[in-house]
Homo-oligomer: A and B are copies of this chain.
Amino acid sequence: MPVKTLLWDKVDTETLPSIAEKLNNALREHSLIIIVCRCAINYAGRSRSILPEGDRVIMVKTNGSVLVHRPFGYSPVNWQPETSFVKFEADGDLLRMIAVRDSPREVLEANIQSIHTVMIVSGMRDEAKFTMYVSEKEVKDVIEEFPEIIEPGLKILEREKRVEDGIIDFLARDSKGRTVVIEVKDERAGIDAGKQLLRYVKALSKTGGEVRGILVAPGFSKGLIEFLERNGLEKVRYDQQRMLKLLDKVSEKQASKHPTLEEFIRRG
């Protein structure tokens, strides 16, 4: 089913009840609706607000969520999250949109005085997976350059050291001379990451001396946190923002510039 757009530029040739009916049909079919209009907005629920008459863009998405955008600003001035029930109705000279949501009970009302344009879009398909992205390699670049973000006094001995069992991300030494195994993840880490780290720590422990294991990740599953505590392993959380800032500094130092958007895309 291809994307089909229904456009109205000359809404004034239609009666309001007929317009309301078409819009309600569009809602039933879960089409996306965009209305450019002059309207006043009232909201009552978690808070309450009034917005007198002005030109706005109203968007009703396929799940029934509603956004009211003023021409300026970034965020919607009023909205209704997706658990809403929406309907249009003609009331004298007004076209009214009412969007209701339960738990919490909230009502959004748009009193539309004049309609500039209506767009109804059906058949939109969007199956794509949205992914936030900082590569594991980049996180490692930062750690190699700034091992102190793991802990003060940490010295990196080797990066990507091969052992029988796999590849240790970092082999390091702490300020008290103890060996440290560091495992780096670019996503929220699960129990597997903990097991992997434990294997490396046990393997190195055989060669003698105390060995610490630190898991570095942007987040940790609940099960993993327990696992780490149970096995005397440690964790260090990083956030993307900080990592990206440090990555800039790494690039400056290495004169291999911070990857541009194009490079970033090429890498996938």
Contact = CB atoms under 8 A, between A and B. Distances in A.
Contacts of A130: 49-51, 77
B5 A117 contact: yes
A2 B174 CA distance: 70
The CB with the most chain B CB atoms within 10 A, among A55, A71, A124, A268, is that of A71
A149 to B, nearest CB: 18
A241 B46 contact: yes
Interface stretch (A58-66, A154-162, A163-171, A201-209): A58-66
A241 to B, nearest CB: 6
A53 interface: yes
A3 B35 CA distance: 13
Interface residues of A, number: 65
B72 A62 contact: yes
Contact of A49 (B3, B54, B119, B132): B132
A255 interface: no
A7 to B, nearest CB: 5
A36 B65 CA distance: 18
B42 A261 contact: yes
A253 interface: no
A182 interface: no
A3 B117 CA distance: 10
Interface string A236-268: 000011001000000000000000110011001
Contact of A107 (B44, B56, B59, B261): B261
Contacts of A52: 128-129
